[in-house]
Amino acid sequence: MVQTSNLHFIVIDDSKLDCFIAEKIIRNSGGIDSIKSFLQAKEALQYIATARPEDVAHTIVMVDIQMPVMNGFEFVEAFEKFSPEIKKNYTLYVISSSINDNDLNRVQNYSSVKQFINKPLTNNSLIQLLENPI
Amino acid sequence: MSTQDKIKILYIDDEQNNLVGFKATFRFDYTVFIAVDIDQAYEHLKKNPDISVILCDQRMPDKTGVQFYEEMREEYPDPIRMLITGYADIESVIDAVNRGHIFRYIKKPWTDTDVKSAIEEANKFYITNSMLSAKNVELQSAYDELGKFAYSVTHDLRGPLLSVIGALDLAKTMDDIDEIKEILGMMDSAVRKLDEFITNTHEYYNLKRGKLVFEQIDFNDIISDTTAIFRIAGRMDSVKFTAHVVQNDVFLSDEISIKIILNNLLSNAFKFQRKKASDKFVDVNIEVKDDNAIILVKDNGIGIQENHINNIFTMFYRATSEETGSGFGLYNVKDALNKLNGTVEVDSVFNEGTTFKVIIPGKGNGTN
């Protein structure tokens, strides 16, 4: 089991099942402080905008790409507009079922996105992530 | 032959006598527009974009026929251009023909038969060209749709599948039966979403490729067929459903298209309810009057935000993450209505409800 102290998670996915899977797998990995999932990217943005720094340092954000209303790319672009004081508390991962080259290339162009993760999230991919999460 | 079917031709000559003579000879066979100068010619072209053949005299005071063609074809590339000229101008004619400006030239003095056969040939060429460009437009839109399809297939087919794979992996590690049941329930909805997408794709292709079959439509039957499916699926639970049909006349239309329209509108009405509301309702009102079917589908559900209203009929567009959706349903509604020459209007207030008003003309009333 990987030791992770003071690590919070935010999962943003319009699929309830995918949020559920991510929550279970993250929780099973142990040593996690909190997990929040949002079905809408806008709600996650609001949370990040208003959260107290001591409650969120440090947070791993996993965001899906294709979502209605606000998609993953729009979320990342909105996130990048936050102040450095807010941004420094978060590490962004994009998680998607997409195998579209345009999507994958686009993910690489965002400096705030650490890595692209293929769906579905598995124990193994999470363990790899947790080796060097931030 | 009616005026509608007649070939439209434009004849340009600076000599009034030639114009009058030409029109007198050909006005029974063709719709003839005449112009004494280039300004007049442009006026005709502007007002009659379906002129298919132009005949122009080469020797005119301000410009030669070749010069006129070189200039006009930028704005009006479609009409087939022919030049009327005497032997003296043969050099410039050969040059113009070679440079692709001119389909054919008619030498002076022309005979009726020469001109007629040239016009017929030119018109054939025009029709072939316009069919080709219409086909190209169709092809382009088919390509664009294919691109959208390929992209959406990843998300809409692969997405739910990967969810189920992830859930299965997870379930293997679980011992608690309640937890397993919870995850089974979610897998169930993921698989249903997949099925919905496939059904919608099937509808889409039925609409695109299928021919309309006109038969007598009984709206009472259609309503009971459509709602039976919802009832079995339990989607009408806790929603008050009312239907009111006024149909005294025979109405001829395509049953499959009408079912697709009603099915999608009703499905949305049942789906996008406010979960906590205690007075949920869906109301359908259908009236057949003057060979039009007017369909109102009303609900008091979550409504549509104003900034999304203009996009709801766009393929794969989704205005909400409440409930599952393929972004296909209303696109198919619009597509079916286009085929039937029908219209749809939306009236919606966010958090209060939505009313769709559909008007479908009967077969005797202008459907293609």
Q: In chain A, helix, strand, coil percent, each to 5?
A: 40, 20, 35
The count of domains in chain B is: 3
Could you tell me if B195 and B220 lie in one domain?
Answer: no
Using the 3D structure, point to which of B210, B228, B255 is the last residue of a domain: B210
Same domain, B312 and B198: no
pLDDT at res. B81: 94
User: Given this model, what pLDDT does residue B1 score?
Assistant: 45
B103 with B159, same domain? no
User: What does the mean pLDDT of chain A come to?
Assistant: 89
Alpha-carbon distance A37 to A20, whole Å?
8
CATH of the domain at B39: 3.40.50.2300
CA distances to B19, B54, B67, B91 from B41, in Å: 12, 9, 14, 25
Same domain flag for B221 and B367: yes
Q: Find the CATH number of the domain harbouring B172.
A: 1.10.287
Owning domain of residue B222: 211-368
Q: Which residue of B has its CA nearest to A40?
A: B321
Domain assignment present for residue B18? The answer is yes
Residue B115 within any structural domain of the chain: no
pLDDT tens digits for range B300-330: 999 998 888 888 888 777 777 666 666 778 8
| Domain assignment present for B156 | yes
Q: Stretch A75-97: mean pLDDT, rounded?
A: 94
Of B158, B170, B318, the CB nearest to A21: B170
| Residue B290 and residue B348 share a domain | yes
| Pairwise CB contact (< 8 Å): A15 & B325 | no
Q: Give yes or no for A67 touching B (CB within 8 A).
A: yes
B237 and B348 together in one domain: yes
In angstroms, what is the C-alpha Rg of chain B? 30
Please tell me the pTM assigned to this model.
0.62
For B193, which residue in chain A has the nearest alpha carbon? Answer: A15
Q: Is the pLDDT of residue A33 over 90?
A: no
In single-letter form, the type of residue at position B79 comes to: P
| pLDDT tens, N- to C-terminus, chain B (368 residues) | 445 578 999 999 999 999 999 999 999 999 999 999 999 999 999 999 999 999 999 888 888 888 899 889 899 999 999 998 876 677 777 877 777 678 988 888 888 998 999 999 999 999 999 899 889 988 888 888 787 777 777 677 888 889 899 999 889 888 999 989 988 988 888 888 788 778 877 877 777 777 788 889 999 999 988 887 777 666 677 888 889 999 998 999 998 889 889 988 998 898 888 888 888 999 999 999 999 999 999 999 999 988 888 888 887 777 776 666 667 788 889 988 988 999 999 999 998 999 999 999 998 765 44
Q: Are strands B252-254 and B214-216 parallel, antiparallel or unpaired?
A: antiparallel
Domain at A8-131: CATH code: 3.40.50.2300
Cβ partners under 8 Å of residue B241, min gap 6? B227, B281, B282, B283, B284
Q: Do both B170 and B99 map to the same domain?
A: no
Q: Which conformational region is residue B268 in: left (phi greater than 0), alpha (psi within -120 to 50 degrees), or beta?
A: alpha
Does ipTM exceed 0.85? no
- Give me the mean pLDDT over the A40-53 stretch: 92
Output the pLDDT for position B207: 76
Residues B42 and B23 in one domain: yes
Where along chain A do its domains lie? 8-131
Domain co-membership, B222 together with B305: yes
In a domain, B359, yes or no: yes
Closest Cβ opposite residue A119 in set B162, B173, B319: B162
Whether residue B272 contacts residue B320, with contact meaning beta carbons closer than 8 Å, is answered with: yes
